[in-house]
Amino acid sequence: MILPKLRLAALVAAVCMAVVSGPHAAPSVPESPVRPSHVQSVPLLGTVNPASSELLQSAITDANRDHREAVLIEIDTPGGLESSMRDMVKAILKSEVPVIAYVSPAGARSASAGVFLMAASQVAAMAPGTNLGAAHPVGIGGGSIDSIMSGKITNDASAYMRSLARQRGRNVQWYEDAVRHSVSASETEALDKGLIDIVSRSREDLLDRLDGRRVTLGSGKVVTLHTRGAVIIPTVVSLRIKILNALSDPNIAYLLMLLGFYGILFELMHPGAVLPGVAGGVSLLLAFFALQTLPVNYVGMLLILFSLVLFILEARTPTHGTLGIGGVISFLLGSVMLLRVHGSELHVAWGLIAGSTAITALFFGTIIAAAFRARRLPVTTGKRGLMGERGRVTETLSPLGTVYVHGAYWTAEADEPLPKGTLVRVAEVKGLTLRVVRA
């Protein structure tokens, strides 16, 4: 009986000790706050060109250096230069930081070169009211190419697109059709067809919903995204990039080209003015830089040049407006065709074309009207300019003498004696001698 009593006493003592010392036995350690992750954001607005390519590559380099959680590309592009697109895709594939391609805001699009960027990124997302597609290759220059060359270009682009889509596990057939047949899809269609991973209304919502998703980097490494509540670090766009990107806008390129033509034309019509020629040369060089990144139709450019030739001829030859009207029509057609290339959504705004055509017609119309007025003015030089001019006798004509006519002293003769001071009129010019009659 003693042993059970000892066990009971020990159990009671242990319970009492636990109650007394429980709250102080294991002091709690305060949890350290979880630091939010950082996501590098970079805008892709407007055309895909060397400036936007440099910006994206710089953002990805910064994100890798600073060990960001991801790079977020916010896309709204009609497409652009293939070489710039390939440089951007290479940067995405080599990145050790996951890349999220996000078409936003509502009304934005990712067309042509932008489709390749969507296919290459680890995560492809779209905002409501956006669209994706139409990636058929467009030749820089806009001219027609033979079927063999066209087939080579299309096959090369299709193979590239298939490789990217297959690597990311997306709908390979649709992405190939986007190249071969310029198909497009809204955000809901893109999600249903397996073209993208998610539809999200904002970038904050997108990052929250991507938290915990596993993605595969270009190196084959699988990482898990920790993007919930991430701090978004915007990429600083330098002034140089802003200027280069602005120059690649079709409307800016069109205006620079017109200013260049007008400046050089004015210099040719008024040699020695210097400033118009310098300004025109600089504008043309900037326009050529911009146009090399755009699908230019050279037939359109030649029509614009031809219109300027017609305007000059109209100002110099009396066609009574025929060449001028032809110049206006040629200028309008050239402006419309300049960037209207099959398969490209890049073009000059209609309002800018209409305004430029009106100003050009008004400018050259004024010059032509001035030329017509000049033709109607009486001749004031040479023999014809002296005929009918009035003057005064400065030395008696009997029959030869001297008269003051048209600001100069002339030897003159008359059919009758005319005393000094007589008003006379020039009736005929014989070499350097004038035959005058009494006025």
The catalytic position among 110, 112, 248, 356 is: 112
**Pairing state between β 198-199 and 123-126:** parallel
Whether residue 21 contacts residue 53, with contact meaning beta carbons closer than 8 Å, is answered with no
Q: How many CB atoms lie within 10 A of CB 229?
A: 12
**Measured between alpha carbons, how far is 434 from 423 in angstroms, rounded to an integer?**
14
**Measured between alpha carbons, how far is 246 from 290 in angstroms, rounded to an integer?**
9
Catalytic annotation present for 112: yes
**Measured between alpha carbons, how far is 117 from 170 in angstroms, rounded to an integer?**
13
**Residue 384's Cα: distance from chain center in Å?**
56
Closest by CA position to 44, among listed 57, 33, 31: 57
Whether residue 347 contacts residue 250, with contact meaning beta carbons closer than 8 Å, is answered with yes
What tokens were used for 123? 């995560």
Catalytic annotation present for 152: yes
Residue 257 main-chain phi, psi, to 5 deg: -65, -45
**Measured between alpha carbons, how far is 247 from 282 in angstroms, rounded to an integer?**
13
The catalytic position among 94, 152, 420, 430 is: 152
Residues sharing a CB contact under 8 Å with residue 303, sequence separation 6 or more, in sequence order: 330, 331, 333, 334, 337
Q: Is the preceding peptide bond at 378 cis, omega within 30 degrees of 0? A: no
For the chain, the straight-line distance linking the first and the last C-alpha, in angstroms and rounded, comes to 168
Residue 358 main-chain phi, psi, to 5 deg: -65, -45
Catalytic center residues:
112, 152
